[in-house]
Structure 1
Amino acid sequence: MIQGPIQTDVAIVGAGPTALFAAFECGMLKLSCVLIDALDEIGGQCAALYPEKPIYDIPAHPSIEGGALIAALEAQIAPFDVPRLLGQRVEALSGHRGAFTLKTSAGETVQAKAIIIAAGAGAFGPNRPPLHGLEEYERSGAVQYYVRRRADFEGKRIVVAGGGDSALDWALSLSELADKIYLLHRRARFRGAPETLARIEEQVVAGRIEKIVPYQLHALHGADGRLESVEVADLDGNARHLEADTLLPFYGLSTDLGPIANWNIDTIRSTIPVTPSTLETSLAGVFAIGDIAAYPGKLKLILQGFSEGAMAAHAIHPIVHPDTALHFEYSTSKGVPAAS
C-alpha cells in the first residue's frame, strides 16, 4: 500500500485500451493521472478475454492481437510514468469538481481534480452453464470461458458451445490445431457474418468442425476434474455423448457497474449517459469514455473510445488549469512532453 493519499490531476477508473490512451492524452496535456483497475493486470477485456485474438479495426494495423495492442499502448504511456493501482476497485467517491476523493478496496486513497471512468462494460464475468459439478472442471481447466493461449488447445477434442461471434471465431481459429471441434448450438441457425458462416461450412465439409445442432449442454462426465465426455440433449430429450477434453461455453458476459452505480451518476442499463462534446457525466468533473459511455450515435469501437479519451482530456484541462489557456498543438510539432 502507498503511504498517504495519492495526489493526481486525473483518476482513471479502468486500465483497458481506452483508459491507456486517455492516460497518454492526459500526459500530452501535462496532466498527471493514475490508473485504477479491479483486474490484476492492465488491458481490460483485451488482456483478460482475447490476448491472442486478432483485432481488425485499429487504424494503421490491418490486424493486431489484443495483447500486442495493450503492449503498444503501455509503451506509448511509458514516458509519463503513470502509477497503476491494480487488483482493487474504487469503492467510494466523495467531493466535487476539482476536489474528489476516491477510496479503493485495498485501502488506498486517491485525491483527484477530475475523474475519467473507462470501465468498459463494468465488472464482467462469463455466463456459466448450469451443469452439475461444473466448478471442479473449471478448476482443472477442462472448462474455460476465455482463450488466452491457442497453443494450450493443440491436439485437444473441444466442444465449443454458443451461436454468436465468439463461438464461431474460436471454432475456426482452434480448428487449425485441435484434434476435433464440436460446434454446439441450440438452434440450427448461427448468429454471425455471412463470411464467417461460409468459412464454418468449409471447415465442416473438410471434417475439421462437426456441427451439433439443435442441442444443448446437459451434463459433464469425467473424474477428478478430468473431462471425458460432454453430454448434450435436443429439445425432445434425445442425448448424445461427445468425447472431449475441453468445453468452451461462449454464452456472453454478465456485466455489473458495481460501486459506480452508487456514485450519484445517472445511468441507463449499465451505461453512463454523457455530453457528447465533452464526455462529462451528470456529475460535474466526472467523465466517461469507452463502452460504458452512452450518447446518440455511439459506436462501441475501440477507435471511438480513443477519440473520447482525447476529448475528455481536453475538457479536463481547464478544470486542472483554470487560469491557463490550452493552445492546441499537433504531436508532430510538440513531441512527447516529459512527465511532470
Structure 2
Amino acid sequence: MYIEQGYKGKLGAWNYFVIPGLFILLMIFNYISTKIMVEESGESVELMMSRFIDMMGKNIFLVINLLVFVVGLLVIFFWVKFVHQQSLTNFTTSRKKIDWKRIFTMFFLWGTYSTITILLAVYVAPDNFELQFNWTKFLPLLIISLLMFPFQTSFEEYLFRGQLLQGLGIVTKSRAVSWIVTSILFGVMHAANPEVEKLGPIIMIFYIGTGLVLGAMTLLDEGLELALGFHAANNILAALLMTSTWTAIQTDSVYLDTSVVPEFGIMDTLPIFIGYPILLIILGKIYKWKDWKEKLFGRVMSKEEFFALEENRIEVDQFQNY
C-alpha cells in the first residue's frame, strides 16, 4: 500500500503537486528558452552543448548539470519532512524501514545487464565504437558519477514515483491513473533531450516505457527501493561505459559511440515491450509479488479505510509480540 502512505502527513492533497508543479514549469521554461536560443543562434542543441563543454570541460559541465538535481532532491526532502510532515521512510516505502538490500540488489542486477549489453554491442559492431579509456579522466568521472548521479536519479524517482504517484493516487483513488499519468509525465520530461531531436519522437516510447516499468516496480513491490536501484544503475553505467557527441550526458567514458545516428524504429522498441515485462516477471519471482491486477489497476483506499487497517495491523503485531 505504497500510495496510501501519503495519508501519513499533516496537509491536504494539494501539497503533493507544489514541487512537481514548480519543476514542470521550470522544464517548460527551459524547453522554450532552448528553442529560442536555437532559433536565434542558428545552432543545433548538439552544437550548443559542444560549445559549452569546450568552455568548461566535460566533468565541470556534468557537475553543473547534476547540481540542479542535488538541490531539487534536498528541496523535496525538506518539503516532505517539515511541510507535509511525512517521514522519509513512509515517503520511500510501505515497509517499516527502507530496504537497502533491495536497492543494492536491483543496482547490481540492472548494472550487470547494462554492462553486458554495452560490451555485446561493442563486440558485434566494433567499428561503431572508439575506445577512449584514460585513467586520469575516468577516475574523476567515476567519483562524480558515484557521488552525484544517485541525487539525480533519486530526485526523479521521489518526484514522479513518490510525490506525484502518491498524490494522484490519493486524489483520483485509482492506481492505474496515477501509474499511467506519472509515466507519461516522466517521458515528457525528457522531450528536450538532444536524443529526441536526433532519433525522432518515437524514442518517447522508450522514456514512457521506462516510466511505466519503474511505476510498476513501485506499485507491485509497495516501495521505491527497486526503482531507485534500477535508475541509479542505468544512469551511472551509461555515463561510465558509453557516450556519444549527441546525447544529453557527455562524459569521458570507456567507449565513444561514433556510429551514424539512425532513426529510432519500431524494432528498437522490442526491448521495452519484451525486455521490461521479463524483468518484472523475474522480480516478481524473487520478491513473491501477488495480486498484480489489484496493485496496478485497483482502487486506492480512503484515508479512513487505510488507518483502520493500520490500527488493526498494530493490534495484531502487539498480540503476536505478547
**Quick check: which one's helix share is greater?**
2
Output the TM-score relative to the length of structure 2.
0.23
Q: Which has the higher contact order (CA 8 A, sep 6+)?
A: 2
Greater Cα radius of gyration, structure 1 or 2: 1
Normalized against structure 1, the TM-score is what? 0.22
